[in-house]
Amino acid sequence: MKQLLKLSAASLLVVGALSVQASTLGDVQAKGYVSCGVSKGLAGFSSADSSGTWTGVDVDVCRAVAAATLGDAQKVKFVPLTAKERFTALQSGEIDMLSRNTTWTITRDASLGLNFAGVNYYDGQGFMVKSSLGVSSAMELSGAAVCIQAGTTTELNLADWGKANGIEYNSVVSDTNAQTLTNYDAGRCDVLTTDASGLYSMRAAASDPSEHVVLPEIISKEPLGPVVRQGDDQWFNIVRWSLNAMITAEELGVTSATVDEVTNNPERERLMGRSGSTHEYVGLTPDWTYQIVKQVGNYSESFERNIGINTPIGIARGVNALWTDGGILYSPPFR
Amino acid sequence: MPVFDQQETRKPPISQIGAVLWLKTNLFSSWINSILTFASLYLLYIMIPPLLNWMIFDASFSFGTINFFGFEIKFSEEMATNDNCGRVGACWPYIYEKLYMYTYGFYPRTETWRPNTVFALTGLLFVIVPLVKNYKYKNRVTLSLIILYPLISYVLIAGGFGLLTPVATDQWGGLLLTLIIASVGIIVSFPIGVLLALGRQSNLKVIKLFSTLFIEFIRAVPLITILFMASFVLPLFLESGNYFDKLLRALIGIALFQAAYFAEVVRGGLQAIPRGQYEAADAIGLSYFQKNVLIILPQALKISIPNIVGSSISLFKDTTLVLIIGLFDMLAMVNLTSNDPYWLGRETEGFVFVTMVMWAILYTMSRYSRKLELRFNTENKN
Amino acid sequence: MKKIILDSLGKSQHRGLNFRDMLYNNEARAFFFQIVTFVLVVGLFYTAIGNLFQNIEERGINTGFTFLKNRAGFDILPFLGNYVVDYTPESSNFSVFYVGLINTLVVAFVGIILSTLIGLFIGIARLSNNYLVAKLAGGYIELFRNVPILLQILFWYNLFINLFPHPKQSFAFFDIMFLNQRGLYLPKPIPEDGFLLVALSLLVGIIASYFVKQHYKKKHELTGIHTSTWPFSVALILGLPIIIFLVLGSPLQFDIAVLGKFNLRGGMNVVPEFLALTFALSVYTATYIAEAIRSGIEAVDKGQKEAAAAIGLTPTQSLKLIILPQALRVAIPPTINQYLNLTKNSSLATAIGYPELMSAFGGTVLNQVGQAVEILAMAMLVYLVISLFISLLLNYVNNKMAIQGR
């Protein structure tokens, strides 16, 4: 694997170096849309609704960047990608950014010619089993058949974890989320393993959600976030700070409904671009953050709209709550 | 005087008439036949009732009120949601909800009239062509249709030219995309196929060699390898920096693939033309071009029409493969729509629906080809 | 034709070669066209290959086949290929190719046999005088022929894993074979020392019985005395190995699957991906084979059937001895073509994750390594060889089956 990674890293680096000749921001503004790689369908993170509109927390990051750079959150071209295709698509320039529940690891960050622009969801790999199996801990899973998706860190984490704990398993590998879930739901395997968020999303999609339990063990850290190509710092900053703007907006209590209210909180006024000159540093118009909050909403709005307690996915904020609320979500200040 | 005593005509025994006779000769003529009959009945019994239960009796038809060409048809008070749609039978409101995606993919809702017009035009084509069959200028009409129809359709669907809002190819999807791939595949590959067939029959060694190699190579490998080539390797063959549309790449692959198959079909027709026709054409001093266009091809193509339709049917079936290289045809839409958080767990309905649509189209096409075959068979006998 | 050429040649002799004559000279024109085509095709290839190398260099994509030696690093669904190659994630990419190839061939092999059986059955049933059977066979053909094969593969796979029971409630056949949603579990033969002798004795038995048969056939031709050879054959082919097997003290053990905590363990697991794929391909291909057989039977002269009835053959005998042998002559060439199609269609396994050539090697390895040119070339080469092989078979059969004129 390491050799493979090195190989692909070497090849990708060259591609990266080639494709950054023009500035991505200039490209995007010339094209009139942001080309954003998303999942082929992971309920709550990126999925298309009945009219073909993409929704989800990953999708909202793409929309935030479009709102910031083009002033219109609708000007996104979504490119659905499988886990295996995602990095090549970014490197070849087919997409401008990737927002596809992608785990931030040192290998990907440092050797693939990519940059992670932040974390929009703190996750960890977990297991889901049918409650009828009577299993209450992942340690009891020796001999089970495990459904996993090809080309993900999940595959590698599982191997590590199995080795460390002396647990043998049969892996049933599928190409897409949908097929993984179908396999598990039908009973082709006993255990489904993926990021905990994915587990909740897939549990909601199972034929009878109440039949399945998510086991308590979380065997890995999976910080998921948007990714850009290496070598274009301006674009990197735009994506990173678009996400930060959503988090800061929640911290300051600005929502899409209250964004037009003028207050005398200086930080809030700075965030809304009504004072200060942060916009100049990233090369955008003064209202870029205003447009993000106005059109996409703050982090909390996006979360609750797509995967929150009141949606079929039903995920609690947990560690993804703001640092002030006991979570670890934290944005550097807008100053 | 002997009186002929008219007796009442006796009825044939009950076992020799009507339904009983039919049953006896068709179902129970021997004990083997009886066993086969009961086995078939049992097979039907275990398959049909569960299917009907799932599709109709246990299924949900709570579409709410549907506006059907101005008529309001009320199925239920309001449309079912995923939660009250039931899990025992099919949830057809899901299909109704996602119908737009299955038909047009991501095509902008405000521009639906454009693909609709193309659908209507396509239907019209099948009406016009038989109508002008006996018309004096039928060749001219058909020819102009062959040129105009793809042009108009392209302008309507893709937009641009300052007339219509452009719609990028990644927004085309569903049945629309399936039809586009199939029709472009057929229209583009046909002339290439004819040229290849002529090339393979040609006396010119080099041309014959290249045509044969191409045809045999393509026919030996699966379409999916060609599609992979088109989507991964084709961009490498072009000068660097040339960006190539994903759909266009797939279309090139499909057209080349289909051309090889058409070539073999047309070659079959060419071989059926009697030698005398070639010699007669040479004798009256026609050039190669004149000979083929005026004498040989019209006859050869006519013979091959049933096989051309058959080959087109295969292509239509093969369009589902574009799913593997990431295009959103109808089958890919099933996967995509099954991930809507508000309509989770309804993949089966999607598959069944797509299967029914594909089957209906393919069955109609194969009936049509059977009809053509019969027609041309009788013509040959006369 | 000749006249025109002679004419033009005559003219050119008369007036000397000029451009106009060259233009109308058929041979000159043929030569010219061939040169132009040749230059165009070669030029196209030259540019494409040139661009290819330039692009590969610019993008830093590796070239050559060294990637085959690299560690694969991913799991493959365990099936025949894995067992033969002894595959682990530590194995090389070339083993993946090998695993894929074996898995493709096994699907093709089983699929060809199964589709022939189903096709034969349906083709005959279609012409049955039992109304219900004939209609059902017709319905079968219309239904499965007109649904894309990819959909059918997905359908059978999902049906399989949803319909069959959980491993804990497997269908058991005498507690040695099990069928559940994780596949079919067969006893796994474990040969011990001396089993090779048994296998050898089987081979010896087959060869010996062939010679015995030849001997009596000769005798029959020479003297007219018919001796049935089947008792000898049975004794040689079955008896000999059984005796040796028993003498050596049963040198073969079977590993039978047993229920573990989650799964059946041990035994030989035939995965549902394989079963569904093979079944889907067979059911689909059988519709074409059935049509070929039907047209073959319909092509047999009606008189043949009447003659068979006249000499007192039963319908079964007439079908077996008179109709089918003649029908097969017409039916076999299209059927062999369908075998090629079946093999090519097996590449759709990627949709359900069965690790055959195009899914394990052409899919996963391609995504890991990115050397599309080499990998696809290798995969295409395999299909070319298979298709060449099937063409040779077709030619052989055509020659063999041709009506021998005397």
Closest chain B residue by Cα to residue C391: B220
Chain A interface includes C368 (CB < 8 A): yes
Q: Test A312 with B82 for CB contact under 8 angstroms.
A: yes
A83 or A120, higher pLDDT: A120
A168 or B263, which is more confident: B263
Identity of the amino acid at A300:
S
Looking at the complex, does the CB of residue C390 fall below 8 Å from at least one CB of chain B?
Answer: no
Closest Cα in chain A to C91:
A1
pLDDT in tens, B12-34: 777 777 777 777 777 777 778 88
- Residues in chain C closer than 8 A to B223 (CB atoms): 344
Q: Read off the DSSP letter of residue A257.
A: T
Per-residue confidence (pLDDT) for residue C73, from 0 to 100: 73
Backbone angles phi, psi at C257, to 5 degrees: -65, 140
User: Do A100 and A166 reside in the same domain of the chain?
Assistant: no
Judged by a CB distance cut-off of 8 A, whether residue A176 touches chain B is yes
A78 and A143 belong to one structural domain = no
Say if the Cβ atoms of C263 and A11 lie within 8 Å. no
* pLDDT value, residue C405: 52
The nearest CA of chain C is from the CA of A191 a distance in Å of: 10
Give me the total of CB pairs closer than 8 Å, taking one residue from chain B and one from chain C: 152
Q: Residue A145 belongs to what domain range? A: 125-220
Q: Residue C285: in which H helix or E strand, if any?
A: helix C272-299
Residues C15 and C154 in one domain: no
- Give the model's pLDDT for residue C150: 92
Distance between first and last Cα of chain A: 43
pLDDT at C158: 86
pLDDT in tens for each of the 406 residues of chain C? 555 555 555 554 555 556 666 666 777 878 888 888 889 989 988 988 888 888 777 766 677 888 888 887 777 888 888 888 888 878 888 999 999 999 999 999 999 999 999 999 999 898 888 888 899 999 999 999 999 999 999 889 988 888 888 888 888 887 778 888 888 888 877 777 777 888 888 888 888 888 888 888 888 888 877 777 778 888 888 888 888 888 877 777 777 777 777 777 777 888 899 999 999 999 999 999 999 998 888 888 889 888 998 998 888 888 888 888 888 888 888 899 899 999 999 999 888 888 889 888 888 787 777 788 889 999 999 999 999 998 898 888 888 877 665 4
The pLDDT tens digits of the residues spanning B299-334 come to 888 888 888 888 999 999 999 999 888 888 898 888
C253-258 long-range contacts, CB within 8 A, separation 24+:
C253/C189, C253/C190, C253/C192, C254/C176, C254/C187, C254/C188, C254/C189, C254/C190, C255/C187, C255/C188, C255/C189, C255/C190, C256/C175, C256/C176, C256/C187, C256/C188, C257/C178, C257/C185, C257/C187
* C305 near A CB under 8 A: no
CA distance B101 to chain C (A): 18
What residues of chain B, 146 to 185, have a C-beta less than 8 Å from chain A? 168, 170, 173
Domain count, chain A: 2
* pLDDT computed for residue B342 by the predictor: 82
Q: Which residue of A has its CA nearest to B105?
A: A52
Across all residues in chain B, what is the average pLDDT? 85
* Domain positions in chain B: 39-90, 108-166, 176-381
What's the angle, vertex CA C108, arms to CA C107 and CA C109, rounded to 5? 95
Amino acid identity at B13: P
**A21 and A104 part of one domain:** yes
- The amino acid that residue B287 corresponds to is S
CB spacing of C368 vs A142 below 8 angstroms: no
Q: Which residue of B has its CA nearest to C46?
A: B237
Give Cβ neighbours of residue A295 (< 8 Å, ≥ 6 apart): A63, A67, A72, A73, A256
- For testing the chain A interface, which of B82, B84, B94, B344 should be mutated: the one with the most A CBs within 10 Å? B344
Question: Are residue C277 and residue C136 in the same domain, yes or no?
Answer: yes
Q: What is the spatial distance between Cα B254 and Cα C21, in angstroms, rounded to a whole number?
A: 43
For residue A194, tell me if it sits in a domain: yes
Inspect the interface and report whether the beta carbons of A43 and B344 lie closer than 8 Å: yes
Q: Which residues of A touch B87 (CB under 8 A)?
A: 207-208
Q: Which of C129, C148, C373 sits opposite B317 (nearest CB)?
A: C148
Query: Is the four-CA dihedral A24, A27, A29, A34 of positive or negative sign?
Result: negative
CB contact under 8 A, B26 and C362: no
Question: Nearest CA to CA, how far is C60 from chain A (Å)?
Answer: 5
CB contact under 8 A, B339 and A43: yes
Same domain, A129 and A235: no
Q: Which helix H or strand E contains A78, and what residues bound it?
A: strand A76-81
Q: What pLDDT does A15 receive? A: 42
Query: Is C370 in Cβ contact with A11 (below 8 Å)?
Result: yes
Q: Judged by CB atoms within 8 Å, which residues 339-378 of C form the interface with B? A: 340, 344-345, 347-348, 350-351, 358, 362, 366, 372-373, 376
Contact at CB, A47 and B107, closer than 8 angstroms: no
The answer on C150 and C278 residing in a single domain is yes
Q: In which domain, by residue range, is C107 found?
A: 80-162+273-401
For residue A84, the distance in angstroms to the closest alpha carbon of chain B comes to 12
**What tens digit of pLDDT does each residue of A33-47 get?**
999 999 888 888 998
Say how far apart CA B76 and CA C350 lie, in whole Å.
42
Same domain, A107 and A129: no
* Chain C, window 131-150: residues with a beta carbon less than 8 angstroms from a chain B beta carbon: 131-133, 136, 142-143, 145-150
Is C386 a member of any domain? yes
Strands A34-39 vs A76-81: parallel, antiparallel or unpaired: parallel
When scoring C164, C262, C352, C368 by the number of chain A Cβ atoms within 10 A, the one with the most, hence best to mutate, is C262
How many CB pairs (< 8 A) connect A and C? 91
Cβ contact A143–C261 (<8 Å): yes
Domain shared by C42 and C148, yes or no: no
The alpha-carbon gap from C133 to the nearest alpha carbon of chain B, in Å, equals 7
Lowest-pLDDT range of B181-190, B352-361, C215-224 = C215-224
CB of C166 less than 8 A from some CB of A: yes
Shared domain for A110 and A156, answered yes or no, is no
The CATH number of the domain holding residue A204 is 3.40.190.10
A200 and A258 housed in the same domain: no
Q: What would you report as the CA-atom Rg of chain C, rounded to the nearest whole angstrom?
A: 29
Q: Which chain C residue lies closest to B218 (C-alpha atoms)?
A: C384
| Alpha-carbon gap: B232 to the closest alpha carbon of chain A (Å) | 11
The residue-averaged pLDDT of B129-137 equals 73
pLDDT for B381 equals 43
CB contact residues (below 8 A), chain C span 171-230, against chain B: none
Please tell me the total count of domains within chain C: 2
List the single residue in A with minimal CA-CA distance to C166: A187
Q: What is the pLDDT of residue A211?
A: 87
Contacts of C166 in chain A (CB under 8 A): 187
In this structure, the answer to whether residues A115 and A136 fall within a common structural domain is: no
User: Does A261 lie in the same domain as A207?
Assistant: no
- Assess A208–B contact: CB distance below 8 Å, yes or no: yes
pLDDT interval class at A20 (50, 70, 90) = very low
Q: What's the whole-number mean pLDDT along residues A202-208?
A: 79
Please say which residue of A173, A196, A220 terminates a domain: A220
Residue C45 domain flag: yes
Do C11 and C150 belong together in one domain? Answer: no
Quote the pLDDT of residue C18: 66
> Is the domain of C290 the same as that of C375?
yes
Per residue in C372-397, pLDDT tens?
A: 888 999 999 999 999 999 889 888 88
pLDDT tens across A258-287, in order? 988 888 888 888 888 888 788 888 889 999
Q: A10 pLDDT exceeds 50? A: no
How far is the C-alpha of C359 from the C-alpha of C233, rounded, in Å? 44
What is the 3-class SS of C209-276, one letter each residue? HHHHHHHHHHHHHHHCCCCCCHHHHHHHHHHHHHHHHHHCCCCEEEECCEECCCCEECCEEECHHHHH
What pLDDT is attached to residue C3? Answer: 54
Say yes or no: C89 contacts chain A, CB-CB below 8 A: yes
The C-alpha of A14 sits at a distance from chain B's nearest C-alpha, in angstroms, of: 14
Residue-averaged pLDDT of chain A? 85
Average pLDDT over residues B244-248: 83
Q: Which two tokens stand for residue A268?
A: 């809030």
The pLDDT of residue A238: 95
Residue C135 contacts A where some CB pair is shorter than 8 Å: no
Q: Is the pLDDT of residue A136 over 90?
A: no
Name the CATH topology of B176-381: MetI-like fold (1.10.3720)
The domain that holds C284 is classified in CATH as: 1.10.3720.10
The per-residue pLDDT for A224 is: 93
Q: A41 at the B interface (CB within 8 A)?
A: yes
Are A178 and B338 inside 8 Å of each other by CB? Answer: yes
Q: What is the mean pLDDT of residues B342-363?
A: 89
Measured CA to CA, the distance from residue C232 to residue C239 in angstroms comes to: 10
Nearest beta carbon to residue A172 from set C77, C265, C370: C77
Among A303-312, B182-191, B231-240, which is the least confidently predicted range? Answer: B231-240
3-state secondary structure of A103: strand
Task: Please give the pLDDT value at position B373.
Answer: 77
Q: Which residues of A touch B101 (CB under 8 A)?
A: 48, 50-52
CB contact under 8 A, C161 and A187: yes
pTM above 0.80, yes or no: yes
Spatial CA neighbour of A211 closest among A202, A224, A223, A221: A202
Residue A9's pLDDT is 43
Same domain, residue pair A213 and A280: no
pLDDT the model gives residue C275: 93
Q: What is the mean pLDDT of residues B356-366?
A: 92
* Chains touching B, CB cut-off 8 Å, 3+ pairs: A, C
Residues A115 and A248 grouped into a single domain:
yes
Subunits next to A (3 or more Cβ pairs <8 Å) are B, C
Residue C283, min C-alpha distance to chain A (Å) = 23
The pLDDT assigned to A16 comes to: 41
